[in-house]
Amino acid sequence: MKTLKYSRQRESIKACLMARNDHPTADALYTSIREEYPNISLGTVYRNLNLLVELGEIQKLTCGDGADHFDADTSPHYHFVCKKCGQVCDLPLAPMDDINHMAQKHAEGLVDSHKIYFYGTCKNCLENNC
Partner DNA sequence: TTATTAAATAGTAACAATTACTACTATAAT
Partner DNA sequence: ATTATAGTAGTAATTGTTACTATTTAATAA
CA dist., res. 44 & res. 41, Å (int): 5
Please identify, using beta-carbon distances, which residue of 60 and 111 lies nearer to DNA.
Answer: 60
- 71 burial type by CB count under 10 A (0-12 exposed, 13-18 middle, 19+ buried): buried
Choice from 17, 24, 48, 82 touching DNA (CB under 7 A): 48
Query: At closest approach, how far in Å is the CB of 48 from its own copies?
Result: 19
Query: At closest approach, how far in Å is the CB of 52 from DNA?
Result: 11
Q: Provide the residue type at 96 as one letter.
A: M
User: Is position 66 an interface residue for DNA (rule: CB under 7 A)?
Assistant: yes
User: Is position 128 an interface residue for DNA (rule: CB under 7 A)?
Assistant: no
Q: Provide the residue type at 31 as one letter.
A: T
Q: Provide the residue type at 107 as one letter.
A: A
User: Is position 115 an interface residue for its own copies (rule: CB under 8 A)?
Assistant: yes
Query: At closest approach, how far in Å is the CB of 108 from DNA?
Result: 25
Instruction: Please tell me the number of Cα atoms within 13 Å of 68 on its side-chain side.
Output: 12
Residues whose CB falls within 8 Å of the CB of residue 85, separated by 6 or more in sequence, listed in order: 122, 124, 125, 130
Window 19 to 38, contacts with DNA (CB under 7 A)? 25-27, 37
Binding site for DNA (CB under 7 A): 2-10, 25-27, 37, 39-44, 46-48, 50, 66-68
